[in-house]
Amino acid sequence: PGQSLKHMAEAVAPDVIGERHPSPKPPPGHPGRAAHRGISEFKEAYLTLSQVGDVICTLGQNPTNAEIKKISGNPSNEEMNAKKIEFEEFLPMLQAAANNKDQGGFEDFLEGLHIFDKEGIGTVMGAKLHQALATLDEKMKEEEVEELLEGQEDSNGCINYEAFVKHIMSV
């Protein structure tokens, strides 16, 4: 069911985040009628609170873990894994994430990584970036850091951070 909700959310995300206006129910016989019926069926789907962040990211948003926790109602760790929400409960969460103007963009990420570029040549030491990702504010797990940095270092152990940001924003 969680996978179904993901597909449903992808179908209506543009309406929720304001990319298009919702359209009325198509008339009988119209090709869009089947899609509308499919959307209605997905309203029965659910996902756990722990899946909310992944689904929101899949839909093109970039909320922090703290923001996900806040828009999910600050649930306990137990609730994150056990509590299931329905589609109608998920939509306001998606909308809240989409309306957040504090999400960083390409230039913000470059500016943040520029701090580590002591030489001013567009690269950072892979070890420094690894350490920052694993220890600063929203810590990543070691295996997540390894996966993210895999194949990014050059022969000198440096990472071109503009190419790195383009890579992570395209994933």
Whole-model pTM? 0.47
Identify the domain boundary among 67, 99, 131: 99
Could you tell me the end-to-end alpha-carbon distance of the chain, in angstroms, rounded to an integer?
24
Tens digit of pLDDT for each residue in 22-40?
444 445 554 444 455 555 5
Q: Residue 136 maps to which CATH number? A: 1.10.238.10
Provide the domain count of the chain: 2
CA–CA dist 8, 30 (Å, integer): 20
Whether 157 contacts 126, CB under 8 Å: yes
Above 60 in pLDDT, residue 96? yes
* Out of 15-19, 77-81, 82-86, least confident range: 15-19
Query: What integer pLDDT is reported at residue 151 of this predicted model?
Result: 93
Q: Which domain holds residue 21?
A: 2-99
Query: What integer pLDDT is reported at residue 72 of this predicted model?
Result: 92
CA–CA dist 117, 47 (Å, integer): 41
Q: Could you tell me the two tokens for 41?
A: 């069926």
Residue 80 sits in the same domain as residue 163: no
Identify the domain boundary among 47, 73, 99: 99
Above 70 in pLDDT, residue 125? yes
Tens digit of pLDDT for each residue in 99-115?
877 666 788 788 888 88
Identify the domain boundary among 79, 99, 119: 99
Instruction: Compute the average pLDDT of residues 111-136.
Output: 88
Tens digit of pLDDT for each residue in 41-65?
555 567 888 888 888 888 878 788 8
Residue 68 sits in the same domain as residue 13: yes
Q: By three-state DSSP, how is residue 58 classified? A: helix
Query: What integer pLDDT is reported at residue 10 of this predicted model?
Result: 58
Helices (H) and strands (E) counted in the chain, each on its own, are 10, 4
Query: What integer pLDDT is reported at residue 123 of this predicted model?
Result: 94
